[in-house]
Structure 1
Amino acid sequence: MTPPYLSPGDKVGIVSTAKRCEPHEINDALGILNNWGLAPVIGRNAFSSDGYLAGTDEERLSDLQQMLDDTEIKAVFFTKGGYGTLRIIDSIDWTAFKANPKWLVGYSDITLLHCHVHNFGIQTLHAVMLQGMPGSTPESSESIRKALFGESLSYEIPALPENRSVDAIEGTLVGGNLSMLYSVLGSVTDIDTTDKILFIEEIDEYLYHYERMLLALKRAGKLSGLKAVIVGSMVDIKEATLPFGRNDRQITLEHFDCPVYFGFPSGHISDNRALILGREIRISDKGDTVKYEFI
C-alpha cells in the first residue's frame, strides 16, 4: 500500500524517537519543508533529553503515537537516528496508522520502523533525516520531495567493477541499516526477504563485525532467495588489531549468491538518496551505469 502523496498545505509531524536533538539542529530543515509548502508540527517532546536519548521512553513514544494517530498529519519526519527507537517499538499502537497510512521518513535507527511497517504491507521512505538534510546534496532533498509528492523517482549511478550484474531485474525493495536488520532477527519486526531486493548500508564497524552480521542474516535464511542486493554507503568499515584479510566488498560477494550492486548513494553520507521501501524497483545494467527505477 502506498500512503497518500503530499500536497502543499499538508501538515507533517516532527518527532525524535532516538538521539536527543536541539532546536537549532533542524531549523534549516524546517525551512526546506516550508519551501515545499508543508506545515511542520513539532512534537511536544522533540527537544527533550534523558541522557543520550530525546526524552524518556514515555515522552518519545507519546510524540510518535500522537503523530501516527492524528489524521491531519500526512507524514512523519524524524529529527535524528543514533539509538533509541528499539526501546519503544513494542509499545506503539499501530491501529490508526494501519487504517490511515502516512509516510514515515528517516533511515539508520528508523530502519526498525521501516521493517515493522513493511510487515503491514505499507511503503515507507528511507531518506536523510532533518538534522542531516541541510548538509546533504541537493539531489538528496529533491529525491525526498519527489517521492512524497508522487513524482517519478529513478537514479542512474556509475557501475563499479566489483558489481555482480545482470541485464535487468526487478522486485520489492526492503532493508536499511545492517545493524538494525541484525537487531530484529527473530522478532515480530523481522522481515521476509524471499524474492525481494535487499538494500544495506552501514557505518563504523570492524570488518569482522560486518561479516558476523551478514552471517547471522545468512543463517537465519535472509540471504537465500534474494533477487538482488543493493549496497549503499559503507562508512568506516575498518580493520581491527589484526588484519582481516578481505575488504567489505569481498566479504559481501562471498556471502551473497545473487546479483550485487555496489556504490548506491544512500546511507551515512551527504549524498543520501531516498529509497521507497516496499515498492517495486527495476535495476538495469546500462554498461557504464546502473539505472534504478521505482515502478
Structure 2
Amino acid sequence: MAFMVLLLLVLLVSNPSFLKPGNLMDILLSTVTVGILALGEVGVIVTKGIDLSIGAAMGIVTLVVGEAALAGWPIWLVVLGGLIVGAVAGALNGVMISLVKLPPIIVTLGTLSVYSGIMYVVTNGQWVQNLPSQLLALGSFKLWFLPGPVLILLLCLLVLAVFLRYTVTGRYIYAIGNNADAARLAGIRETRIVFLPYLIAGLLAGVAGVLYIAYNGFSTPSTGADLNLEAIAAAVIGGTNVFGGRGTALGAVLGAVLLGIITEALVFFHLPAVWNEAAEGLIILVAVISDSTLIRKVNMGRG
C-alpha cells in the first residue's frame, strides 16, 4: 500500500494529468479481470498451493459463454453456464490435489495445457465475436458513477474478505497454511479445506470470464493465457505469503491495481512494454525476499 501511494505521488509530480478521474477509472477497469483472478489465488496460496491454470480456465469460460450466447441461450443461463464451467475446472484441480495428493504445481500446469489446447481445437484458431447486445450489456452497465465490472470486483472482494476473516472455514484455511500437522491434530479435515480454495478459484475464474467477454465483446484462442502468472503476481505483491498461512482479499486487489498503475504509467510515458514485465518481476522478488526474511527472523526469535 505504501509503495502504491509513493508511486502515485511520483506520477502526480511527473505528470498531474495521470491522476485525472477518467484515467484512474480506466486503470480500475483494466484491473478487474486480474483482480478477480488474484482473489481466487489468495486461498490457494494460503494453503501452500498454486493455481497456474486459473487464467486458462477463465479462457474456457469466455469460449463457452460466447458460443452459448451466439446459440441464442437466455442470458441468465449463459452466465450460469459460465460460472458452472469455472467451478468444475476449479473442482477438478481440487480433487486431484486434495484427494489424489498430487503436487499443485504439476496438476495446474497440466490443466493449463489441457484448457489452452481445448481453446485452440474448439475455435480452430478463430475469434468468438459478434455477440448479442444482451451479453454486452453485462459489461457496460453502470450504477451511479461506477462501471458494473468494478462493482462486481468490489462485491467479490467483500464476499471473500468476509469468508476468510469471519467464518470458521476461512480460519481453517489459514490454519492449514500455517501448520497442516497441527491443524490435523486439532480435528480439521484437511482434504475438504484444501479442496475448497481451488473450487473458489474456479468459480472466480467463471466470474472473470463472463465479465471479460461481456466487456470486451470477444474471445480469442489465447484469452487468459497471459493472466495466470499475473494473477499470482498480484496476490503475492498484495501480501499473500508464498510459503502459506498469510494473505488477504484486499491485498490481492490492491496488488492487481498496482500492476495496473505500472502498466498504465509505462503507456502514459511511452516506455517499452517489456519494462512492465521487468517491473512486475522485480516487485515479486522483493515481496518473496521480504517474506522469507521475516519468516527467518521469526524462527530465529523463537529459537
Give the TM-score normalised by the residue count of structure 2.
Answer: 0.26
**Structure number with higher helix proportion:** 2
Give the TM-score normalised by the residue count of structure 1.
Answer: 0.26
